[in-house]
Chain A
Amino acid sequence: MSGAAAAERLIEVDGVEKVFSVRRKAGRLRRVKDEVRAVDGISFRVPRGEMVGYIGPNGAGKSTTIKMLTGILVPSGGRLRVAGIDPARERTRLARRIGVVFGQRTTLWWDLPLKDSYELVRRMYRVPDTAYRANLERCVELLDLAPLLDVPVRQLSLGQRMRGDIAAALLHDPEVLYLDEPTIGLDVISKAKVREFLLEVNAERGTTVLLTTHDLTDIEQLCRRVMVIDHGRLVYDGGLAGLRAAGDGERTLVVDLERELPPIEGVPGARTVKVEGPRQWLAFPAARSAAPLVAAVAERYPLVDLSVREPDIEDVIAKLYAGGDSGPDSPGGA
Chain B
Amino acid sequence: MASRVAQGLCAYGLIVRMWMRSTLAYRTSFVMMTFGDFVATALDFVAIMLMFSQIEALGGFTLPEVAFLYGTSSVSLGLADLLFGSMERLGRRVRDGTLDTLLLRPAPLLAQVAADRFALRRLGRITQGLLVLGWSVSRLDVDWTVGRMLMVPLMTVCGAAIFAAVFTAGAAFQFWAQDAAEVQNSFTYGGNTMLQYPPTVFARDLVRGVTFVIPLAFVNWLPALRLLGRPDPLGLPGWVDFMGPAVAALMCAGAGLAWRGGVRAYRSTGS
Residues A105 and B98 in contact in the complex (CB < 8 Å), given A63-B271, A111-B25:
yes
Contact, CB under 8 Å: B100 / A105 = yes
Complex contacts, B264 vs chain A, CB 8 Å? 74
Complex contacts, B97 vs chain A, CB 8 Å? 105
22 A-B pairs (CB sep. < 8 Å): A20-B267, A67-B268, A70-B103, A70-B104, A71-B103, A72-B104, A72-B266, A73-B268, A74-B264, A91-B103, A95-B105, A98-B104, A102-B100, A104-B271, A107-B101, A107-B104, A110-B22, A111-B26, A112-B25, A116-B21, A124-B14, A125-B106
Most buried by A among B25, B267, B268: B267
Interface of B is mostly: loop
Q: How far is the CB of A60 from chain B (nearest CB, A)?
A: 11
A92 at the interface (CB under 8 A from B): yes
A109 at the interface (CB under 8 A from B): yes
Not counting A92-B105, A124-B14, A124-B107, a sample of 13 additional A-B residue pairs whose C-beta atoms are within 8 angstroms of each other reads: A20-B267, A63-B271, A67-B268, A70-B104, A73-B268, A91-B103, A92-B106, A105-B100, A110-B22, A112-B21, A112-B25, A120-B14, A124-B106
Listed in ascending order, the chain B residues whose CB lies under 8 Å from chain A are: 7, 11, 14-15, 18, 21-22, 25-26, 97-98, 100-101, 103-108, 264, 266-268, 270-271
Contact, CB under 8 Å: B25 / A124 = no
Provide the bound-state CA to CA distance between A95 and B25, in Å.
Answer: 30
Q: How far is the CB of A84 from chain B (nearest CB, A)?
A: 16
- Chain A residue total in the interface (Cβ 8 A): 31
Residues A109 and B100 in contact in the complex (CB < 8 Å), given A59-B270, A92-B106, A95-B105:
no
Complex contacts, B106 vs chain A, CB 8 Å? 92-93, 95-96, 124-125
Most buried by A among B15, B264, B271: B271
A30 at the interface (CB under 8 A from B): no
Residues A105 and B101 in contact in the complex (CB < 8 Å), given A73-B268, A110-B22:
yes
Q: How far is the CB of B135 from chain A (nearest CB, A)?
A: 38
Complex contacts, A152 vs chain B, CB 8 Å? 25
Contact with B along A84-108 (1 / 0, CB 8 A): 0000000111011010101011110
Contact, CB under 8 Å: A73 / B267 = yes
Provide the bound-state CA to CA distance between A109 and B24, in Å.
Answer: 13
Provide the bound-state CA to CA distance between A102 and B25, in Å.
Answer: 26
